Amino acid sequence: MSKKAHNDVPADIAKGPSRAMHDLGGSSHAGTLDFTPHLLSDFERNVDALVNLLAKADINIVCPDERRRGIESLPPELYRSLTYYQRWLMGVKLILVQKGVLSDADIEQRLGEIRQRDEAR
Residues 52-74 pLDDT 10s: 999 999 999 999 999 999 999 99
What is the chain's percent helix, strand, coil content, to nearest 5? 55, 0, 40
Q: How far apart are CA 97 and CA 100, in angstroms?
A: 5
> What pTM value is reported for the model?
0.71
Give the distance, in angstroms, between the CA of residue 11 and the centroid of all CA atoms in the same chain. 31
Q: How far apart are CA 96 and CA 100, in angstroms?
A: 6
Are 51 and 88 a contacting pair, CB within 8 Å?
Answer: yes
Residues 103-114 pLDDT 10s: 999 999 999 999
Q: For residue 35, what pLDDT is reported?
A: 85
Task: Please give the residue that has the higher pLDDT: either 42 or 13.
Answer: 42
- What are the structural domains of the chain? 41-120 (1.10.472.20)
